Structure formats: structure tokens, C-alpha cells
Structure 1
Amino acid sequence: MGFSKLKIPRVCEHCSKPFEAKTVMTRFCSVSCNNKEIVARKKREREGLEKETLLRNFAEKIAEVQSREFISIPEATIMFGISKDTLHRLIKRGIITGVNLGVRLTRVKRSDLEDLFSSVEIPDKLKEVPDKPNFEVGNCYTISEISAKFHADPGTVNSVIRRNKIPTKQVGSFVYVPKNLIDKIFDGK
């Protein structure tokens, strides 16, 4: 493959540093990054293969554990991702059912753990749809009208409008604000 005279700006796929590639196919900034990526890829493939073989070898045991009513503490920690101490605390508080059959033979009820982690549906709050502001003549105040009516400084009126996120409309040098929104705020004070 030939080299181009153009310098192609790229980012190394291994170390994420920018570099100038000499070919269109270049993916790494150096030979060392290329070699490190090859090693990492082979490691990922090997780990994936190991996980698949483990799952194949223990599929029957996993299915058997999932069908039992009572499971051991180590099995519960693996299945539900809870620490042993947390499980013992839950048993002591009576949140889950635990049976002690002897030294290191504590069994917990799997259905209690499943109920503990069952999803709770939270109802969606209906979002209030704000009324579309009405900027017609007669339905709006100007800043000076608001300050005169409610005996407030124009700066205070502006800060109240910004704080409450009241929509405004500027026409020329006048800023119009809907009457109904301003009356709600200033009548409450």
C-alpha cells in the first residue's frame, strides 16, 4: 500500500492520542500501541471463551439453584449481588426469612429476596402544561405599569420576572408581561 502525501489527522484507538496517519488504514499511533491492542483483544477473546465454557459447564447447577425455594447465603450473594453482611442483617431484622440448619448452613427464602428486589412502578406525574402567554393589548402590563400598580422598584419587578421564569415580549423599548401571571405572583405577596 502506498503512502499519501496528505497528513490524515486520526486518534489512536488504543491510547486515544491524536496523531497524523500516513495511510488511510492506519488505526494506531505506533507499533507499540498496535501490539498492546492485539494483546488486549486476545485477552478479551480468551475471557469471553472462559465465560462461555463456565456457563456451559454450570448451566445445570444454575438452573437447579434457581428452582430451589431455599438457597444458601453464598448463592444469594451471587444471584442478587448482596453482601453476606447485608443478608445477615436482613434476616436479623425479619425482612427476609432465614433458616439456620447448623454451622454455615443458613438458608434464605429465594422468593423473599425476589420480592425485595421487585420493581415498583412509580406513576408518571402529569406535567402541567403552561398556558400559552397571551400578549394581546389589554392582557399585558409593561414593567413601568407593574411597578406603579404594585409600588415596586422596576429592578425588583425584573428580578421577580426572571426568578419565576415568566415569559416576556419586547416590542420596541417596551417589555410586555402577561397580566394573569403577574397578578398571581404579586397578589400572593
Structure 2
Amino acid sequence: MGFSKLKIPRVCEQCSKPFEAKTVTTRFCSVSCANKSGKERKKKEKEQVEKETLLKKYANKIAEVQSREFISVAEATIMFGISKDTVHRYIKRGIINGVNVGARLTRVKRSDLEDLFSAVEIPDKSKEVPEKPNFEVGNCYTISEISAKFHADPGTVNSVIRRNKIPTKKVGSFVYAPKNLIDKIFDGK
């Protein structure tokens, strides 16, 4: 058979280094990368087969546990992915109900744990539309006007404006802040 003079630029699927392939089907830059890839593929296939056999072996047990009202602490840790200490801490704090049937026979109510880990709806904050600041002549205070009106130091006024993220506008040497936002903050104090 003849020798090909083709040099196809490729990237190795194993080590991600660029190389020049001599055939169209070449996937790896070297024999060692091909061997590593083969070993990883075989390892993943073996793990998949082990998972499937475990699921087949324990399918009845899993179905039985999911149908029972009370489950053991070990079963709770497997079902909900929490540690035994966390389950015992929740029982001690009264977050979930636990029954001690005997030595090392603590049972918890499955529905309590399901309620604990159920999804919580977060209210949508996008409905609140913030007011646009109005920097017109009659609708603004200067820093000195705020300090005179509310008997506060100008430094305190500046820190309150920064802390409450009140928008300001600087015109020349004067800093203006909207009256409605300033009045809301200082009327409460």
C-alpha cells in the first residue's frame, strides 16, 4: 500500500493539542493518547453497567421506601442527599418530627422532609418600576439646603445619600438631589 502525503490539521481528542493527521479518520496525536481515551471509555461503560445493575437490584427496595410514610435516618440521607447529623439536628430543633422506636431505630416522616426540600417561589421584583429622578429646578435640594432644613452636618448628608443610593447631579460646584427621595429618608429620622 502507498504512503499518503496528506497532512490534515487536527486537534487531539484526548490532550487537545494540535497535530497533523495523515488520514481522514485519525482522532488522536499519538498511540498513548489513543490508549488513554480507550481506557476512559471502558471505565465509563463499566460504571454505567454497574449503575444499571444496582438500579435493577434495588428497584423494589426504592419503590418500597418511597411508598412508606416513615423512613429511617439512613434512608433519608440517601433519598434527600443530606447527612445523618443534619437529620438529627433537624429533629432536635423541631424542624421535622422524629420517633425513636429503639436503639438506633429513629424514624422520620418522609412528608416532613419533602416539605422541607420543596421549591419555594420567589416573588418577581421586576414589577416594581423605580422612579426616575426629577432634577428640575424646583424639585431638587442642594447639599447645603438639606443640611439647613434637617439640621444635619453636610458630611452626614453625603453619607446618607451614598448609603441609600440616591441619584445626584452635579452642576458647577453644586450637587443636587431629588426632593421626594430626600424627604422620604429624612422625615423618618
* TM bucket normalised to smaller: 0.5 to 0.7
- The runs of 5 or more residues in structure 1 that have no matched partner are 132-149, 151-163, 167-180
Q: Aligned pair 1:71/2:71, yes or no?
A: yes
Q: Aligned pair 1:86/2:76, yes or no?
A: no
- The runs of 5 or more residues in structure 2 that have no matched partner are 132-141, 143-164, 183-189
CA distance in 1, matches of 2:37, 2:7: 26
TM-score by length of structure 2 reads 0.66
Deviation by residue 1:22-63 (Cα, 9 ceiling, x = unmatched): 222211111111111111111111111111111111111100
1:101 — aligned with what? 101
Asked if structure 2 preserves the Cα contact closer than 8 Å seen for 1:12 and 1:28, the reply is: yes
Question: How many percent identity over aligned positions?
Answer: 69
CA distance in 1, matches of 2:95, 2:130: 44
1:182 offset after TM fit, Å?
5.4
Asked if structure 2 preserves the Cα contact closer than 8 Å seen for 1:2 and 1:23, the reply is: no
Q: Look up the equivalent residue of 1:35 and give its one-letter code.
A: N
Alignment of 1:34-183 (within 5 A): 34-126=34-126
1:19 offset after TM fit, Å?
2.2
CA distance in 2, matches of 1:95, 1:83: 15
1:21 offset after TM fit, Å?
2.1
TM-score by length of structure 1 reads 0.66
1:3 offset after TM fit, Å?
3.1
Shift in alpha-carbon separation, 1:2–1:109, aligned structure 2, 3 A: farther
- Give the paired residue count: 145
RMSD: 3.2
Deviation above 4 Å: which 4+ runs of structure 1? Answer: 127-131
Please give the secondary structure, in 1, of the residue aligned with 2:51: helix
CA distance in 1, matches of 2:118, 2:66: 16
Shift in alpha-carbon separation, 1:97–1:2, aligned structure 2, 3 A: farther
